[in-house]
Amino acid sequence: MAEKDPSAPESEGTTAVTEPAGEEKSGDESGGEEKKEKLQQNVLIQDVGPCRKHIKVTVDRSNVDKLLAEKYKELVGDSWIPGFRKGKAPRKVVVRRFKKEVEDQIKGQLLLASLEQLAEENDVAPLAPPNINPDKLHIPEQGPFVYEFEVEVRPQFDLPDYKGLKLRRPVRTFSDDDVEQETKRVLGQFGQLVPKDGTADKGDYIIADMTTKHGERVVGTSKEVTFRIDDTVTFKDGVAKASDTRTVSIRMTDAVADESLKGQTVQAVLEVKDVKRMRLPELTEDFLKEQLGVRSEDQLRERVRLVLERRLEYAQRQSAREQVIAQIAAASTWDLPHDLLVRQSRRALGRRMLEMREAGMSDDEIKARQRLLERDVVNSTALALKEHFVLQKIAEVEKIELDDSEIEAEIEAIADQSGESARRVRAQFEREDMIETLAAQLIERKALNLILENASYEEYPMGQEAGLSSVEAQAVPGEVKDPTAAPPEPKEEEESKP
Which pLDDT score is estimated for 338?
63
CA distance 31 to 447: 36
From 328, 323, 321, select the one nearest 351 (Cα to Cα): 321
What is the band of 329 on the pLDDT scale with cuts at 50, 70, 90?
Answer: low
Least confident interval from 117-121, 255-259, 347-351: 255-259
Half-sphere exposure of 284 (CA within 13 A, CB side): 6
Burial 7-25 (b: 16+ CB within 10 A, else e): eeeeeeeebebebeeeeee
Triad 427, 432, 434: Cα angle to 5°? 90
Which pLDDT score is estimated for 346?
74
End-to-end CA distance of the chain: 57
Q: Alpha carbon of 395 to those of 157, 300, 449: distances in Å?
A: 14, 40, 11
CA distance 435 to 426: 8
- Choose between 309 and 251: higher pLDDT: 309
CA distance 388 to 329: 11
Residues of the chain with pLDDT > 90, as a percent, come to 28
CA distance 123 to 138: 27
Which pLDDT score is estimated for 302?
94
CA distance 475 to 180: 32
Which pLDDT score is estimated for 126?
84
Phi first, then psi: give them for residue 275, nearest 5 degrees: -120, 135
Which pLDDT score is estimated for 80?
64
Residue 192 CA to chain centroid, in angstroms? 37
- Choose between 68 and 468: higher pLDDT: 68
Question: Average of pLDDT values for 371-386?
Answer: 69
Question: Average of pLDDT values for 317-342?
Answer: 76
> Does the structure show a pLDDT above 60 at 255?
no
Query: pLDDT tens for residues 7-63?
Result: 333 333 444 444 444 444 444 444 444 566 889 999 999 988 878 889 999 999 999
Question: Average of pLDDT values for 1-7?
Answer: 37
Query: pLDDT tens for residues 408-464?
Result: 999 999 988 888 899 999 999 998 888 988 998 899 999 999 999 999 999 999 865
- Choose between 294 and 382: higher pLDDT: 294
From 244, 137, 220, select the one nearest 480 (Cα to Cα): 220
Query: pLDDT tens for residues 284-314?
Result: 999 999 999 899 999 999 999 999 999 999 8
Residues of the chain with pLDDT > 70, as a percent, come to 75
> Does the structure show a pLDDT above 80 at 171?
yes
- Contact between 421 and 415 (Cβ < 8 Å): yes
| The 3-state secondary structure of the chain, one letter per residue | CCCCCCCCCCECCEEEEEECCEECCCHHHHCCCCCCEECCEEEEEEEEECCEEEEEEEECHHHHHHHHHHHHHHHHHHCCCCCCCCCCCCHHHHHHHHHHHHHHHHHHHHHHHHHHHHHHHCCCCECCCCCCCHHHCCCCCCCCEEEEEEEEECCCCCCCCCCCCEEEEEECCCCHHHHHHHHHHHHHHHCEEEECCCCCCCCCEEEEEEEEEECCEEEEEEEEEEEECCCCCCCCCCCCCCCCEEEEEEECCCCCCCHHHCCCEEEEEEEEEEEEEEECCCCCHHHHHHHHCCCCHHHHHHHHHHHHHHHHHHHHHHHHHHHHHHHHHCCCCCCCCHHHHHHHHHHHHHHHHHHHHHCCCCHHHHHHHHHHHHHCHHHHHHHHHHHHHHHHHHHHHCCCCCCHHHHHHHHHHHHHHHCCCHHHHHHHHHHCCCHHHHHHHHHHHHHHHHHHHCCEEEEEECCCCCCCCCCHHHCCCCCCCCCCCCCCCHHHHHCCCC
Beta bridge partners of 251: 265
From 324, 339, 320, 342, select the one nearest 387 (Cα to Cα): 324
- Choose between 233 and 409: higher pLDDT: 409
- Choose between 164 and 159: higher pLDDT: 164
Which pLDDT score is estimated for 379?
66
- Domains of the chain plus CATH, in order, are 14-22+37-152 (3.30.70.1050), 166-170+302-461 (1.10.3120), 192-279 (3.10.50.40)
Residues 6+ apart with CB under 8 A from 269: 210, 211, 212, 213, 245, 246, 247
| The 3-state secondary structure of 241-292, one letter per residue | CCCCEEEEEEECCCCCCCHHHCCCEEEEEEEEEEEEEEECCCCCHHHHHHHH
> Does the structure show a pLDDT above 60 at 3?
no
Which pLDDT score is estimated for 376?
57
- Contact between 214 and 227 (Cβ < 8 Å): no
CA distance 154 to 134: 25
- Contact between 152 and 336 (Cβ < 8 Å): no
- Choose between 222 and 76: higher pLDDT: 222
> Does the structure show a pLDDT above 60 at 402?
yes
Least confident interval from 72-81, 107-116, 365-374, 473-482: 473-482
- Choose between 440 and 88: higher pLDDT: 440
Query: pLDDT tens for residues 311-327?
Result: 999 899 889 988 887 88
Which pLDDT score is estimated for 284?
92
